Amino acid sequence: MYFNSGYLIFMVPAFLLMMLAQWYVNSAYNRWSRVAARSGLTGAQAAQKLAQRGGLNVTIEQVAGRLSDHYDPRSKTLRLSQGVGQSTSVAALAIAAHELGHAMQDREDYGPLRLRAALVPMVNIGSWLGWILLMAGFALNFTELAWLGVIVFAGGAVFALATLPVEFDASARARRLLADTGIITTQEESSGVNNVLNAAALTYVAALITAVMQLLYYASLVLGMGRRNN
């Protein structure tokens, strides 16, 4: 009932795009993590310098994992993985500056960031409630209930859409910060920063497409049920 050949039609292209995006991220990171920036600053040092320049009161911590870097707005903490915080590579500087861009958004009360944060509870609830409503709708042959499940599932796609301007803006800030402070000085380094940040951006685009395709698949199932009931 929940899996058929239509699932492959909707989801295989999305999964292939996700795989391509992950390959691109790993490829860009691996390449530019081997290229040391002339500034000699580690990712953590660059983040500290940028934070001081921008008057940001953030704590910088090391976190386990690979590419697990993130900014926590609740504790105003910038968490950098060892491969970023302790590395002087172009990739490390790009990632650290990107995460600091989120700290700047937080300080400025950036609208899309607030919208994304507001959507989190809805997405968390929808991730399990949507399934319940869909399964109940199919089990009871209740089309309206199944449509309600699709609507609840739509929260994931809305969240993925709201994420795009947040991430794109953080990357744009990172590029400007690194150039304006002289942390990135050469055309090669600038190209490396763009490569790393563009690769990361593709993953968010792929996530949105995957969420939309999944939503369309569920909608097609409910439409099929509705036609059978007519």
pLDDT band at 27 (very low <50, low <70, confident <90, very high): very high
Q: What is the pLDDT of residues 128-156, one digit of tens each?
A: 898 899 899 988 989 999 999 999 989 99
pTM equals 0.89
Mean pLDDT of 95-119: 96
Residue 28 near residue 91 (C-beta atoms within 8 A): yes
Phi-psi region of 213 (alpha: psi -120 to 50; beta: other; left: phi over 0): alpha
Q: What is the pLDDT of residues 31-49, one digit of tens each?
A: 999 999 999 999 999 999 9
216 or 227, which is more confident: 216
Which own/partner pairs from 201-205 qualify as long-range (CB within 8 Å, at least 24 positions apart)? 201/167, 201/168, 201/171, 202/20, 202/21, 202/24, 202/25, 203/18, 203/21, 203/22, 203/25, 204/160, 204/163, 204/164, 204/167, 205/21, 205/164
Q: Give catalytic residue positions.
A: 99
Please say if the pLDDT value at position 159 is more than 80: yes
Mean pLDDT of 115-135: 90
Q: What are phi and psi of 78, to 5 degrees?
A: -100, 115
